[in-house]
Amino acid sequence: MKAGKGVAKAEDSAPFTIKAFNSEYPEIHMQDIVASNGKFFIGNMTGSVCPRGVRDCPVGNVTALQTTKEGYAYLDVVNKTQVVYVDSQSGLRFNPPGVEAGQDSRNATFSLTTNPIPAPPAFSALKFSGVGRSTGYLACPIPPTTEVWEVFVSTNNLIEDGDSWVPSGDVSDCIGFDAFASNYTSPVAAAYQYL
């Protein structure tokens, strides 16, 4: 999916929000995963913008996504042009407004699995099955505190060689989790654009 092809199709999923699920770690468990600065975080605020002159902009304080039957994921914005992907260092990313999604976006394969165990009722699981044999997601703390966590996909490359890729410089600081999705119901997109 490329930026600029901004039409949602009928077979795309309904918009959804995502939460981290790992009941052994209350610092991330059932916390929202949000888009900001081209990345995804736990414990941060959603980053969005409404350009000048645009009337009736969505509030933009919620991060919502959609998936396609082809396996792409994109943010629920007005023009459907912000693609979610996994970069070469296993980071969960999205392209900035007005910038076409790069090569990494072609390697992304996302899907929603209904009624996953041990998810609470009314949740689906957001799975990634692109490059690197993913085994789920990782929340990696951003020093000096553990209040904000950057989200990565847990790939073999990250586990074996990724110390320099994560904010703390040590992959063993990261916490594994499942990403659970719940429907986002709104008559309008969740944001005009995410930053």
Render pLDDT for 36-71 as a digit per residue (tens, 0 to 9).
999 999 999 999 999 888 888 999 999 999 998 888
Confidence of residue 115 (pLDDT cuts 50, 70, 90): low
127 touches 21 (CB < 8 A) = no
52 touches 183 (CB < 8 A) = no
What does the pLDDT read at residue 80? 80
* pLDDT-wise least confident of 26-35, 47-56, 158-167: 158-167
Highest mean pLDDT among 9-18, 59-68, 109-118: 59-68
Euclidean distance between CA atoms 111 and 122, whole angstroms: 16
What does DSSP say about strands 149-153 and 137-141: parallel, antiparallel, or unpaired?
antiparallel
What does DSSP say about strands 149-153 and 175-183: parallel, antiparallel, or unpaired?
unpaired
